[in-house]
Amino acid sequence: MAPRTNGIGVQVENTRICVVMVGLPARGKSYIAQKAQRYLAWLSIPAATFNVGNYRRTDAPQPPADFFEPNNQEGERKRRAAAEAAVADMLRWFKKGGVVGILDATNSTKERRKWVLDIMTQNNIEVIFVESRCDDENLIMANIRDVKTTSPDYQGQDPETAALDFRNRIRNYEKVYKSLNEDGDEEDLTFLKIMNVGKQVIINRIRDYLQSRVVYYLMNLHIRPRSVWLSRHGESMLNLEGRIGGDAELSHRGEEYARKLPELVLESVGSDRPLTVWTSTLKRTIATARHLPKHYNQLQWKALDELDAGVCDGMTYQEIADLYPDDFQARDEDKYNYRYRAGESYRDVVIRLEPIIMELERSEDILIISHQAVIRCIYAYFMQKPQEESPWVPVPLHTLIKLTPRAYGTEVQTYKANIQAVSTWRGKGSTAKHEDPSPEKSLFQTH
């Protein structure tokens, strides 16, 4: 029978953690919260974000700045009710098997933090506070620009009016804001302080493995606006034959794509600033990168190699179905967890990609040239694709993908080389050498 694997990515036993975000508006809290949730879910750790602003919008969809004035009793009542609703939902979620819940709000006073701590402690849930502090005016302004164009609070409003209102909202929060342990009376709390986008990090009383895992990720995360570029290698000779894996040379059309790629990158980047190029160690990705500008630094990562198909390497899907019919069926039933004989599963690929993701989060201006399964896994990380969907995502050849993470999602842009290539996507049950995905399966949706 075909080998199978199950279970969540990290054995966390009975650990449950509430991550409480802390900080003024426009400090990247929602961005950090979303990224942490995506990272944990990508590693198969059940995680969810509870954004208090979303709860508040049911009562006050687009409130003016004075709604957040400390002396506005009606505003305070509605904000408190939103926080209570978010915490109640989080507790219900924990009871259903949640492991890491993230409370995304300002939590800017000691009183509010103590209230959350007391509730979670009563329910045997660990609490870690994560504060993002920033006095870099350029970064704050970049975050304000992002929020006023992506936040539901300012949808349909004049951008300049929105920016002014948001500035006034921040001033109202500043009147009551207390940084974590500012008065020296919160030193018993477990917390992480990220100062000026990671220039300084303060860690206090981290207690166990899962907390340290979350903290390590957040230490490597920066909130400066940036993009990541992804591309598969050019069409290969084995692609033409409908064979998987291998270490083939590029086809004639694949060579054309390699020559066209520098033009696509320049169009997408919008300037001649250099990117750092990461390829796998396989010939077809290295060949695809070879015409990029000489001032682009190029690095080869074994972790970016294609999913190892084991004994099926170099076969067509028809050959796999004929020789290993049980395996062929088992893979269709659970493609994420199915492991090829003497090879890998998608779950295995995710585990070996974790160092890549960590390095990606601390870097800027990276272009990754890799393979279908690897690009699917990286795309799933940024776009929060569920495990059962990610192995079926179409990633066409001869296409450059630009991903730009935002506070409320990830923007996707694509640049097609308009050079023909075979399709390597395969639907469930199919043994076709080349099959086009249905339109609704299109990869390129803004999330």
Burial class for 429, CB neighbours closer than 10 Å (0-12, 13-18, 19+): exposed
Cβ contacts of residue 163 below 8 Å, gap of 6+?
144, 145, 148
Which of 131, 165, 186, 233 does the annotation list as catalytic?
233
Beta bridge partners of 193: 131, 202
Name the packing angle between helices 73-95 and 110-122 (round to 10°).
Answer: 30
Quote the tokens at residue 237. Answer: 């000779």
Q: What amino acid occupies position 262?
A: P
Which of 104, 186, 256, 308 does the annotation list as catalytic?
104
Q: Which residue has the tokens 């050079």?
A: 419
How many helices (H) and strands (E) the chain has is answered by 14, 12
Which of 306, 327, 334, 361 does the annotation list as catalytic?
306
Give residue 32's Cα distance to chain centre.
Answer: 10
Torsion of CA 246, 249, 252, 253, to 10 degrees: 50
Indicate if 313 belongs to the active site.
no
Q: How far apart are CA 320 and CA 312, in angstroms?
A: 7
Torsion of CA 93, 97, 99, 103, to 10 degrees: 0
Quote the tokens at residue 79. Answer: 């904000």
The three-class DSSP label of residue 4 is: coil
Indicate if 233 belongs to the active site.
yes
Beta bridge partners of 406: 409
Q: What is the largest CA-CA distance in the chain?
A: 74
Indicate if 131 belongs to the active site.
no
Please choose, from the candidates 198, 202, 180, 177, the residue with its C-alpha nearest in 3D space to the C-alpha of residue 189: 180
Q: What amino acid occupies position 114?
A: K
Q: Give the active site residues.
A: 104, 233, 306
